[in-house]
Structure 1
Amino acid sequence: MGPETENGDHIDEFESGFLGDLIRPEDSGYDNARTVWNGMIDKRPDLVAQCQDVADVISAVEFAREQDLLVAVRGGGHNAAGLGTCDDGIVIDCSPMNWVDVDPDTRRVRVGGGATWRDVDHATQAFGLAVPGGVVSHTGVAGLTLGGGYGHLRRAYGLTCDNLVSVDLVTADGRFLTASEDEHPDLFWAVRGGGGAFGIVTAFEFEAHPIGTKVATVETWHSIEDATVVFETWRDFVETAPRTISGEAIIWGIPEDPHFPEEHHDDPVAIITAVHAGDPDEGEELLRPLREFGSPLFDFSGRIRYLDLQQGFDPFFPAGEHRYYQGSVYLDSLDDEVIADILDRAETRPDPRILYYVWNLGGAIADVPEHATAFSGRDHPYLLAIDGKWDDPAEDDAVLEWARSFQRDMQVHSPGEGYRNFPGLGEGGDAQRTPERDETDDRLVEVKDQYDPTNVFSRNHGVTPSESARTDGGAGDE
């Protein structure tokens, strides 16, 4: 039973002091308000509270707590597992809070909790700056940052959360806090890679980097028959490449797009990409061996605008139109046996639009000590990521079993665990545990006990308070 049917007075009082929009199931905008990026997520909340400012967020949290409502928090709504919505309960939607303020002199960027990376890139590129973000521009800043944040600049400048200076946050009891290395450092540690289980971040402060407005890139598409040599050549290149270079080796099907001949649509291909974070002239020279390799079917390499790089894959992953699955496995190495096992799945994909890819890691990511933040997996050299995309609900079981069995089978090459931002559909990507991850998770529970002992934020990456905290309600943070 929803909050209004239980007691209309409570929701009327809530609405009277709420600046944004409160959307109920009977309202005309309800279906749009409840829709998230993954089209297979079909949740029906009792209420969507579209917050305009911090005061709205505080009001929504207090209302949810007083009415004992299930809470989902939405930023960009891009999480594949659908954590930004729920059945029944309330969605606290921060997407209207998408402001970005850039100080080009200090290279500090303040970002509202509902912004996407398109918002951030638009504002920072006016000054030739960039905050390391994601690889699809409609990804939400909040979700990516709180879970870590891999992107095109990762080896040069680290994870998104490594570039975080502070956050403003509303806690489960409605308090407004700023967390940084100097204020509430335990909370600041947790939000850098530990997910959104500790409060609602209403503002992020980042350090930006002077990358200019154009970058040198390689993107070549090769016949699937050449996949083995393509992956081996890419591996040999990135293993000795400077940290200014980040790249991916990809298996995909040629999309139904006018850039590609119709007769080749859906044909499987092996793609190699790399991006140089620095002077484009230097980058083109460094990337030349990778670009000149083989006889690609298509070559989209060159010097391009950073904004175009960030938005290049947007058309292929639109919000709400397809069914999506994102899983991952860290890899110990990318030797010939691992490559063979990876490529063995190329022809068995249930849908040609399913892609999977290997990211090279290291560089600035590994400069940060393992337990300096809540992000786990800094020492891993590679990440295998699986992006499922399909339309027919009748194919759900086949696609999910293919993706999950792929992850399970690759565990023989893995140190255990997966990337928090690619969580499958909530079942998690870490089939194994590691001592390092266990230590991090134990500390996350301690922070959860301190700031959300009654588990108000229960739908964010599965950090739950200890039994003792749930019993006594926590001591709070004075």
Structure 2
Amino acid sequence: MSPLSRRSFLGLSIASLPAWAAEKPALRYLQPADAGYEDARRPFNSCILLKPALIACCRTEADVVAAVRHAKDAGLPVAVKSGGHAFHGFSLNEGGLVVELSGMNNRLLEQGSYRFSAGPGLKLRDCYSWLLARGRLLPAGSCGGVGLAGLTLGGGYGLFSREFGLTCDHLTQVRMVNGNGEIRDSRDEPELLWACRGGGNGNFGIATSFTFETQAAPPNLATRKFTAKGLDASGLARLLERWFEIAATLPDPCFSAVILNGSQATVLLTSTESADGPAFAAATKSFSQAGLSSKGSLTKPLASSIGRYEGRPGPLPFDNVSAGFYRSFADLQSAAAGICATVRETPGLIFQVNTLGGAITRAAASAYPHRGFPFLGELQAYWEKGKIPAKLAAGHASVRQALAAAGIRRHYRNYPDPRLENWQDAYFSGTYARLQALKAKLDPGDRIRHPQSVRLPAV
């Protein structure tokens, strides 16, 4: 098969492209034997071994158009890779075409309005550093290597979400190449903007540029870490319940997470306001009374604080999934003892719960359907190399089964689990049929797909 000639696309209107996409270096297609293929294919999860037949290394919107039209002519399915952090390989495929977007990492901040335009391949660490140097913030997550596209399209939460909202809540415009290789703009199709605010990625098009509203960057971030070691399963469960009670009282500028790992519990508390303020001080006192110890708080400029939470660099082997949304500890109560016992006896298994709520609950309606849940859980498994150890795999399965038995049915699309049976409702409760209608309009041939992409209505 030969790539579609770029001459076929000379009729594309250059005026329709973003200003920063005017230059068009030659589009490269990589095959498995080519130099650079493995670098372009490499996912964050080293367990993912999928081998696409072609990787289109795109640098402009016109490149994306050419790649999708080539895939259509060649009868190839299309997957989309910006940062490669899709936990279970949804940004790759086997034997198809992958549109690789890391070269589309442009950025522009408008004077006066502070609207921020960026390419889909911009990495989060670069987004933060570039905007913070200009006194602005796009509220997002913490993993520095994640691509802006996948983060935004699935929702995007982190330390600042309770104060400012999700990343997708700040999205005001998106341009996309649909499954037929046509350029669409949310200014002309408001439904596209609705869907891109939390409807997930790789469904019906390839986003080529985003425009966001930004926030004035808080000058500092106050943080404090608390730990309790040597806990038995009942001690872990009691501390988990107490964390829920304390976290529910936090004001919007505060974020907290509880991490259970072996016999240790760790609690993170952050705030864009002072560590000496009443809310931070009250939470500190409560966590201390719950049996957690701390070496003290740390307040640093926001730009230097963000890097502390980037996470481990990849690639590395892991099996991470959503552990569900919760309204309170009551949602977990029937499963908590079993989960804590499993985590305590399973090296490499981590159970974590993060605070949501705040500004997330007040944002405009979008394809993200979980705004009423103030807590989100994560189940993580890490090991050194090769296949997942049998004991770790069994512990991971045990926690997933306990969550299902407890009635936890809602899950976060950016933390997908390929083993979920009713993933459509789990990720998109109440919004899935509307996403399907847009799929039928933009990608009627189901060209752009992965194992949990939005299905055509008839499928």
Distance 1:240 1:173, change over 3 A: same
Deviation per CA, 1:299-348, whole angstroms, max 9, x where unpaired?
37311333444332435x32223233323212242148354444233213
| Alignment match of 1:305 (pick from 284, 301, 305) | 301
| Alignment match of 2:217 (pick from 211, 218, 226) | 211
Give the structure-2-normalised TM-score: 0.87
Distance 1:188 1:360, change over 3 A: same
Distance 1:159 1:211, change over 3 A: same
Deviation per CA, 1:351-405, whole angstroms, max 9, x where unpaired?
33x3220112211111236xx2111211123222112212343435543443233
- Report the Cα distance in structure 1 between the residues aligned to 2:95 and 2:9, rounded to whole angstroms: 18
Alignment match, 2:374: 381
TM-superposed deviation, 1:449: 0.6
Alignment match, 1:447: 438
Letter in 1 for 2:198: G
Alignment match, 1:202: 208
- Report the Cα distance in structure 2 between the residues aligned to 1:15 and 1:311, rounded to whole angstroms: 42
State the secondary structure of the residue aligned to 1:393: coil
Alignment match, 2:450: 459
Q: Is the 8 A contact 2:339 2:402 kept in 1?
A: no
- Report the Cα distance in structure 2 between the residues aligned to 1:143 and 1:75, rounded to whole angstroms: 7
Alignment match, 1:258: none
Match status 1:85 vs 2:82: no
- Report the Cα distance in structure 2 between the residues aligned to 1:52 and 1:392, rounded to whole angstroms: 33
Match status 1:192 vs 2:197: yes
Alignment match, 1:30: 37
- Report the Cα distance in structure 2 between the residues aligned to 1:401 and 1:307, rounded to whole angstroms: 40
| Alignment match of 1:71 (pick from 59, 73, 78) | 78
Show the 5 A alignment for 1:409-428. 409-424=402-417, 426-428=418-420
Q: Is the 8 A contact 1:100 1:119 kept in 2?
A: no
Q: Is the 8 A contact 2:423 2:452 kept in 1?
A: no
- Report the Cα distance in structure 1 between the residues aligned to 2:375 and 2:398, rounded to whole angstroms: 19
- Report the Cα distance in structure 2 between the residues aligned to 1:63 and 1:84, rounded to whole angstroms: 18
Distance 1:67 1:85, change over 3 A: same
- Report the Cα distance in structure 2 between the residues aligned to 1:97 and 1:144, rounded to whole angstroms: 15
- Report the Cα distance in structure 2 between the residues aligned to 1:61 and 1:206, rounded to whole angstroms: 26
Show the 5 A alignment for 1:78-227. 78-103=85-110, 105-180=112-187, 183-196=188-201, 197-225=203-231, 227=236
- Report the Cα distance in structure 1 between the residues aligned to 2:6 and 2:66, rounded to whole angstroms: 13
Residue identity (%): 26
- Report the Cα distance in structure 2 between the residues aligned to 1:66 and 1:347, rounded to whole angstroms: 53
State the secondary structure of the residue aligned to 2:382: strand
Q: Return 5+ residue gaps in structure 2 as ranges.
A: 11-23
| Alignment match of 2:315 (pick from 315, 320, 323) | 320
| Alignment match of 1:277 (pick from 272, 291, 297) | 272
TM-superposed deviation, 1:457: 0.8
State the secondary structure of the residue aligned to 2:329: coil
Alignment match, 1:333: 328
Distance 1:70 1:179, change over 3 A: same
Alignment match, 1:234: 243
Alignment match, 1:476: none
Q: Is the 8 A contact 1:417 1:430 kept in 2?
A: no
Q: Is the 8 A contact 2:257 2:355 kept in 1?
A: yes
- Report the Cα distance in structure 2 between the residues aligned to 1:91 and 1:440, rounded to whole angstroms: 27
| Alignment match of 1:244 (pick from 244, 253, 258) | 253
Q: Is the 8 A contact 1:99 1:115 kept in 2?
A: yes
- Report the Cα distance in structure 1 between the residues aligned to 2:317 and 2:223, rounded to whole angstroms: 29
Distance 1:200 1:308, change over 3 A: same
Distance 1:229 1:323, change over 3 A: closer
Letter in 1 for 2:122: A
Give the structure-1-normalised TM-score: 0.83
Distance 1:396 1:177, change over 3 A: farther
Which stretches of structure 1, 4 residues or more, deviate above 6 A after TM superposition? 11-18
- Report the Cα distance in structure 1 between the residues aligned to 2:40 and 2:396, rounded to whole angstroms: 29
Q: Is the 8 A contact 1:418 1:430 kept in 2?
A: no
TM-superposed deviation, 1:281: 5.5
- Report the Cα distance in structure 2 between the residues aligned to 1:465 and 1:321, rounded to whole angstroms: 34
State the secondary structure of the residue aligned to 1:439: coil
Alignment match, 2:18: none
State the secondary structure of the residue aligned to 1:344: helix
Q: Return 5+ residue gaps in structure 1 as ranges.
A: 254-267, 471-478
Alignment match, 1:348: 345
- Report the Cα distance in structure 1 between the residues aligned to 2:273 and 2:112, rounded to whole angstroms: 19
- Report the Cα distance in structure 2 between the residues aligned to 1:445 and 1:400, rounded to whole angstroms: 34
